[in-house]
Structure formats: structure tokens, C-alpha cells
Structure 1
Amino acid sequence: MIFSANLQRSTDSAHQTQTNIAVDKCSMASRNENYTILVMSAAVLLMADVNKKKRRQRRWWRTNLFKKRSGTEILMDLKSQEISGQYKNFTRMTPTDFENLLQRIGPHISKQETYFRTEISAQDRLAVTLRFLATGDSYTSLQYLFRISKQSIGRVVPQVCAALIEELQGYIKLPNTPTAWKQVSKIFETRWNLPHCVGALYGKHVVLQAPVKSGTEFFNYKSNFSIVLFALVDGDYNFMFADVGCQGRISDGGVFKASKLYQQLTENRLGLPTPEELEECSMQIPYFFAGDSAFALSENLMKPYTGDFPKGTPQRIFNYRLSRGRRIVENAFGISSAVFRVLRKPMHLEPAKAEWVILTVILLHNYLRKHSPNIYTPFGTLDYEVNGNLTEGSWRNQGDMTSMVPIRNIPRRPTNYCTKVRDEIANYFINNGALEWQDQYA
């Protein structure tokens, strides 16, 4: 019994010891866990403190440079001597056109006044945007002229461009009825002796600064980063259609096919007139666009013959007539880039913002062509002919458009029908449509 009792006590003691050991292990595990959590928390706080950027203490709420806006004063001084032409040179338009634009977009770009600082007026916002479009200067350069910080200018320019696009979008319109297209064709026939032509096509790569993390998406064949500006112009130097934003990496043959104009053309949604006969032609001639060698010959797109042809041949005269009509779109591009020189410099903007800038220039071109044609494009600015002799416009003396790269020419095999249409038009120029005093210069 004594042995049994001692044995029982020993067993109870052993159980108690095991229980104590288990409790100690649990307590130790709990302490280790708490210690681990504490160490990890300390590490996280330490890393957060290390990675936390030290906020630079502001030395001034605003520097003296920005305490007084000078944009309004500049415009008032320039307007007081409008006859000098400095106001037009500064804003690229007359005070009347400027005020008209300001009234239209003023409610969209005006900001509410606060107690913190004086808000940038709508007039200054429009002025700094027009000056940026006119010169292509950097935001840093403009901040010293208008006393507006470059950060604010970086927000103002896209906002004003978006407002201008919204208000002026009605100035670029594509005809959608056969009657409207025939009115366009009449201008090309009477002024440029190119019947059945309903517009001139052209495309350019607008050079950008390399977009961040874009890879080769905007990388073109000229080893530049660019987006494509593709446009259709009528016989009076006005843009009827503009497609902006096609990436520069897309093959040049696919620029036209990637545009909305091509989609509407293939789906017969443009409303072009049905083909009609020219005098003593053996077939009906469709209405067509005039393009250069970068485009593929098709039923509704005529391009020049390739090669050198003897003087007086149908091919030579056809190329001469087509180039006269196609010169319209070259002048439209040249004038817009000569006046708004932001197109002549590589844009240090994101592709989306660059699209807004380019489209704004196109709309302003049409706006000024309608409201102030004699001031925007005075005599001698555009190409003109006298008795067949070409006199180049003054815009060609503004220097090469180094930031606007032409579309590369790619040979393509046209269909037999398209070739026959072009040959019929060429024969028409030789026979009934001949102009001796002009075609002799071909």
C-alpha cells in the first residue's frame, strides 16, 4: 500500500510536472509569438520611417514672380497698338477673334475665386494656351512671361484645348450627301481643273518625346516616336476630316485603313455621288480623293503614275493635274504649322494630350479661315499660279517641318479596274479636258 501510495504520488507528481512543462511551453510559445510580432512591427515601422520621404518645407507660399499676373497687362498693351501687328503675332489672331473665343469657352475654363490665392483668369488661360500653340515654347519658358507656374500651365493647356475642341468641333465637318460632295468637287474642277475630285488626302507623323513605358508602340520608320495626323482637305484649304492618334509603329500602308474615313468609305456611309461620265469617256468615272504615292490606288482614291514620262504624254499631264489639286492639302498643313509652330517642334507631351493639341490647331485653322481669311492667310501666303507658272507661298520659307515626318511610300498592286479609271482620266485630260496654257508646263 505504501509502495502503491508512493507510486500514486510519483505518478501524480509526474503528471503535475508534465502539466507544468506544458504550461511553461505554452507560455514560452506565447511570449515568443508576442516577441515576433513586436519585432516585425518594429521592422515595419523602421522601414516606413526609412522610406518616408522628407517633405520639403516651403520657404514661400508664393514667390514674388507669381504674385502678380502679367498676362492681362500684356494683352492690354498689345491691343492699345493693334496696328503694329504685335497682338496678332502674339496670339495668332485679331482681338475680335480672341474675344469671340473667350466668350465661347470662358464659362468652361473659369475657376471659382478662393481666399487662398487669386485664381488664373479665363483670359490668361486662353492667352497662355494660344502662346504655347503659336511658339511651342516649354512651360518653363512661358511661366516667366505670364507669371504662372509651369505646374499650373501644365493643367491649363489641356483644359483649354479640350474646351476649344468642344466649342469648335462644328468647324470641321465631312459632307454626307451627294449634293454636298458635288459642291466640293465643283471647287476642284473650276479652280484646279481636276474634275470629280472631292478632296485631297495627306498624312504626317508628328514627332513626340518618347512616351514613358511605351516600348516600340509609337516608334516609326524614321527612328522617332510619333503619332499620325491624317487629314482630308477641300478645295478652299479647309479641313473636312482629321484623324489624330494612330501610333507611329503602325505600317504606313495601314494609316489610311486605320482611319475612320476608310471605314465609312468601305461601308458606303460617306454619301459620295454615283459615278458619272466625263465628256467622250468610254466609262463612268467615280468621284475620288487625290493622294500621293504613299496611298494605294483604288476606285475612290487616285495617285500619280510612278516613273518619269516624256512631256505631253497622258501620264505626265495626269500627274501634273493631280499634283495641282493635291497641293491644297500641303498648303493647309504648311499654313497651320507655320502659324502654330507647336507642330514644328517635338512635343514633350503624353500622346493623349498631344492629340488634343494637334486637333485644336486643326480647328483653329478652320475657325480663322472662316472669320479672318485675309489676316490669317494674306495674299502670297499660299501657293498660286499665273499662266501656269507656280509661285510658292511664303509659308514654304519658314524652314523645314523637322518634327512632321512624311508617310513613307510603299508600292502596292492596284486592281485592273482602278488602273483603267486612272487611264481614262488621263486620256480625258489629253482630249476634251486639255488646257493648252497650263498642260504645256507639265
Structure 2
Amino acid sequence: MASLVTDDDALAILGLSLAIKKTKRKDRSMWCKNWLMKRKKLSHINLVKELRIAPKDYRNYVRMNEETYLKLLSMVTPLIQKEDTVMRNAITAHERLLATLRFLASGRSYECLKYSAIISPQALGRIIPETCAAIYKVLQNDYMQFPDTANKWREIAHQFEEIWNFPHCLGAIDGKHVDIIPPADSDSYYYNYKGRHSMVLMAIVDARYRFLLADFGTNGRVSDGGVLQNTKFFQKLQNKKLNIPNPENIEGSSRCLPYVFIGDDAFPLRTDMIKPYRQGDLNTHEKKIFNYRLSRGRNVVENAFGILSSRFRIFRTQINLEPKNIQNVVMATIALHNFLMEHVPNSYAPRQCFYQENTFNGTIVTDGYTTARSNMEILQRRNHGNITNDAKMIRQEFQNYFVNEGKVQWQNNFV
């Protein structure tokens, strides 16, 4: 049967189709807004130059002094510097790092940050996660060293005993829910027990408020009791692959105790992890003493989280990024915390940041920076089921030590 459409008709239809497509396509009036092209004149880079003569304001703006900033810039530049093209000059490493630090410090959105950085939100959406990943990469080896030998663990334990009067402590462990805006197709995947959407940051902190380990990414829907079990740390702990020293006598005592991590009631009581007695079980003076001494050691992790959320106000917001980019942001802040605690501790975390006691009258001078100022929720307290007798005996042995040869003269003032 002969076709009813002639060649001329086909050409006419094709021409009409092309004409329709052409009319639908809207030509861009400009490839970049004029004011965004004036970055050298309008950007906060010029403000930072002025702040150099006001060191306190400089530190407040970038969360570090100029010397420390330049050190960090030199470290990340090889990873974030881009080449100029024949079309336009690349955004410099200095601009990229400064915009990233302001994002972390202020918690402002890309849309808001564009007015000070003079960088489009679309570009910031690429620059900030990339720079955060670079920050973590260059800092993790020197400032996020997880102990891998028995002697390194003993050094951590020695600091806890010297500063917090808690022997054989390998670190204080805790976890926090970090609020997020969930991805559009995630439904209730990140929905937590507080009725918000979150991802969980699990951390171990040493006696000097440094993060020894940070594990981030478990979705908030996972029961808080299961968050620890999801970490590589816990898998290695169970399989005895952390090179933790064997039980040893405490210095100045004949009492032989194991090396342990300390946590709150969100964590299980184990032979390598001890936690306080529950409030309903505090029926003896000795148990109250134990809880006080354990709480005193645990303050380091609470204060570390508090300092983190105080200095990086991104934690006071619901982070509105893709989950993989949220991970880059959170891990960058952890590495920066340790970096700044090492290089500018007095300005980054002054004395009022830390837990302090008046041991004479049994009062707390300051609780330090707590996470009450942030959106980071604590892990839910849980009943972890049956507890082994060995775990109970080890907690009892620590309790006996604290009320006998290991007692401190002021402890009765706090119970």
C-alpha cells in the first residue's frame, strides 16, 4: 500500500518540529551574574586581609589564627587547587578553604554564603564537600591516630589516670545524633526516636579532649543500642584485634584490673567496657562513689562534643546536604578539632570550655561546653539484656579500688 505522506510533507513536518523546539529553548541572558564576576573586589577575602590587624576577630572568623590558617592552607592546596582556563580564572585554594571554614563555623546555607564568598551556590555545592574531604585527608594521619599497639594504649590510660584519677581507661565513648534534612526518597530511613531525621556520630575521646576515633554514617532509625555494633571498632574489639594490653596491676596497688573503655547507659556492660549503675540501683555509698568517678572521666567526651558544636555551628542546624557530603563535613570538623586543639588550644578551647570542680566544697565550677547548645541528641538509654558475671565483677573491682587504695580525698563531697 502506497504511503500517504509524501517527501515534501515529511520535510514540512520536520521543519515544524525543529521550529517548535527552537521556540521552546530559552537562551541564557548571561553565563554568570555580573556581581559574581567581581569576586576579587567584593569577596570576604578582602575582609580577611583587614582582620589581620585585629587578631581576635580573625580567630573568630576562621576559628584559628593566621599562622595556623596558612599552615592548613599549604596542606590542602595541592588537593583543591584548580587550573585557570582560557574562559575564566579558577577559584583559588584560598577562596575555597575560607568559604568552607565559614560554612562550618557559621552553619549558613550555600544560598546565604554566596553573598560573602561571591561564589554561586552551585559552585559552593561542589567546592565545600571537596574541600572538607581534602581537610580530613591531610589531617587524619597526624591528628587522628588511633592507637595500634599496647604501649600506645598504655599512654592513653596513663593520661586518664594522671588527669582524671581513672586507671586503665582507654577512652571515653559516646554517640550523638546529628540532625539532617533527609533526601527526598529516604522516607523514614533516617527517622530517630526523637522524631527527627539524623545520622549518628560515634566517638572515642582521650583524656585531653582529642578524638581518638570517629565513626559516622549510621542512619538515625537504627536502634541506639545497635549503633555501636555497626562500627568497625566494635567488630575489632569483639575479635580482640585492637592490641589492648592484658590486665595488669594498677600502679601503687596489688589490684589487677583490665584495660577498659568507659561509657554511659547507652552502652553495654562488658569486660572491656564499663558504665555507671542505674539511678534505681544506687543503694550504697560505694556505688555512688563509683558513679561519680566514672562520670568524672566521661566528662571529656561530653565536653569534646560540646566544644565541637560550639566552634562549628553547622551542628546547630539540620544539615541539608547529600548523606555522602554530610559525612565529609562531619569528619572534617573532627579532624579540625584535633588540629586546633594541638596548635591553638587556648583560643580554640579556653579554660571555660572544660569541666572544672571545686574539690573543697564538692561543687562543679563549670560543666564545660555541653551539647545542650546544639541539635546533637544523646543516644537513648537502653536495657542491654543479660550481663555476664565477669563484667559485673570487673565493675565491682573498679568500685572497690575507688573506695579503698584509689580513693581521692574530695570524692565524698560529690555524693
TM-score (norm 1): 0.85
* Alignment match, 1:268: 240
**Is this contact kept in 2: 1:383–1:393, CA < 8 A?**
yes
| Equivalent position amino acid for 1:186 in 2 | H
* 1:37-48 equivalent positions in 2, closer than 5 A: none
Secondary structure of the residue that 1:246 maps to in structure 2?
strand
Would you say the 8 A contact 2:160–2:207 is kept in 1? yes
Unaligned runs of 5+ in 2: none
Letter in 1 for 2:136: I
Q: Answer yes or no: is the 8 Å Cα contact 1:294–1:409 preserved in 2.
A: yes
Query: d(CA) in 1 for partners of 2:84 and 2:177?
Result: 41
Matches within 5 A, 1:175-194: 175-194=147-166
Specify the alignment match of 2:47 in structure 1.
74
**Secondary structure, aligned partner of 2:200:** strand
Kindly provide the amino acid, as one letter, of the partner of residue 328 in structure 1.
V
Which residue of 45, 57, 64 corresponds with 1:86?
57
2:126 to 155, 162, 166: 155
Secondary structure in 1 matching 2:241:
coil
Report the counterpart of residue 3 of structure 2 in structure 1.
31
- For the aligned residue pairs, the C-alpha RMSD in angstroms reads 2.4
Residue in structure 2 matched with residue 136 of structure 1 by the alignment: 107
Q: How does 1:214-363 map to 2 (within 5 A)?
A: 214-278=186-250, 279-281=253-255, 284-308=256-280, 313-363=285-335
Query: Which residue in the other structure is 1:11 paired with?
Result: none
Question: Residue type of the partner of 1:56?
Answer: K
Counterpart Cα distance in 1 of 2:357 and 2:186:
46
| Residue equivalent to 1:390 | 364
Contact 1:208–1:226 (CA<8 Å) still a contact in 2? yes
SS in 2 for 1:98: helix
Shift of 1:367: 0.3
Say whether the 8 Å CA contact 2:160–2:166 is kept in structure 1.
yes
Asked if 1 retains the 8 angstrom alpha-carbon contact of 2:80 and 2:130, the reply is yes
SS in structure 2 at match of 1:440 = helix
Computing the radius of gyration over CA atoms, which structure comes out larger, 1 or 2? 1
Report SS of the residue matched to 1:157: helix
SS class of match (1:270): coil
> Is contact 1:218–1:226 with CA below 8 Å preserved after alignment?
yes
Q: Give me the whole-angstrom Cα distance separating, in 1, the residues matched to 2:21 and 2:257.
A: 72
Equivalent of residue 106 in structure 1, options 77, 95, 99: 77
Greater mean alpha carbon deviation, residues 291-300 or residues 422-431: 422-431
The 1:54/1:126 distance shift into structure 2, 3 A limit, reads: farther
Supply the distance in 2 between the matched residues of 1:78 and 1:53 (Cα, whole angstroms): 52
Matched letter for residue 395 of structure 1: Y
Structure 1, 385-394 or 357-366: larger mean CA deviation? 385-394
**1: CA distance, partners of 2:22 / 2:29:** 21
The amino acid of 2:93's aligned partner reads A
Give the Cα–Cα distance (whole angstroms) in 2 for the partners of residues 128 and 80 of structure 1.
20
3-state DSSP of counterpart to 2:28: coil
Deviation at residue 152 of structure 1 after TM alignment = 1.0
Please list the CA deviations of residues 257-301 of structure 1 after superposition, one character each: whole Å capped at 9, or x if unmatched.
Answer: 1111101111111111101244354xx421100100000101111
Structure 1 unpaired stretches of 5+: 1-27
Which residue pairs with 1:9 in the alignment? none
| 2:135 matches 1:164 | yes
- TM-superposed CA distance for 1:386, in Å, is 3.1
Note if contact 2:303-2:368 (Cα within 8 Å) is conserved in structure 1: no
**Aligned match of 1:212:** 184
Cα–Cα, structure 1 residues 421 and 51, in superposed 2: closer, same or farther, change >3 Å? farther
Aligned to 2:408: 435
* CA distance in 2 between partners of 1:149 and 1:314 (Å): 61
* Residue number in structure 2 paired with 1:20: none
2:96 equivalent to 1:122:
no
**Cα 1:218–1:124 shift into 2, 3 Å:** same
Q: 1:391 to 1:312 in 2, by over 3 A?
A: farther
More displaced stretch, 162-171 vs 58-67: 58-67
Question: How many Å separate the matches in 2 of 1:100 and 1:68?
Answer: 28
Aligned to 1:368: 340
> What SS does the aligned partner of 1:256 have?
helix
- Equivalent position of 1:61 in the other structure: 31
**2:356–2:368 Cα contact (<8 Å) kept:** no
Given that residues 310 and 373 in structure 2 are in contact (C-alpha distance below 8 angstroms), is that contact kept between their aligned partners in structure 1? no
Rounded Cα–Cα distance in structure 2 between residues aligned with 1:394 and 1:297: 27
Q: Which moved more, 1:147-156 or 1:112-121?
A: 112-121
Q: CA deviation at 1:352?
A: 0.6
Output one character per residue of 1:157-183: Cα deviation in whole Å (capped at 9) or x when no partner: 011111111101111111111111111
Deviation at 1:75, TM superposition (A): 1.2
Give the ranges of 4+ consecutive aligned residues of structure 1 lying more than 4 Å apart after TM superposition: 48-53, 308-312
| Matches of 1:149 and 1:101, distance apart in 2 | 24
Q: Distance between the aligned counterparts of 1:167 and 1:330, measured in 2? A: 26
Q: Which amino acid aligns with 1:81?
A: A
**CA offsets, 1:48-105, max 9 Å, x none?**
99899944332233323212211321110111322xx111111011111110111111
Corresponding residue SS for 1:241: strand
Q: 1:65 to 1:176 in 2, by over 3 A?
A: same
Seen in structure 2, the aligned counterparts of structure 1 residues 301 and 51 have a Cα distance that, compared at 3 Å, is: farther
Supply the AA of the counterpart residue of 2:196.
N
Matched letter for residue 169 of structure 2: C
Check conservation: 2:289, 2:411, Cα contact below 8 A. Answer: no
Size of the aligned set, in residue pairs, is 402
Q: Larger deviation: 64-73 or 328-337?
A: 64-73
CA distance in 1 between counterparts of 2:20 and 2:226 reads 52
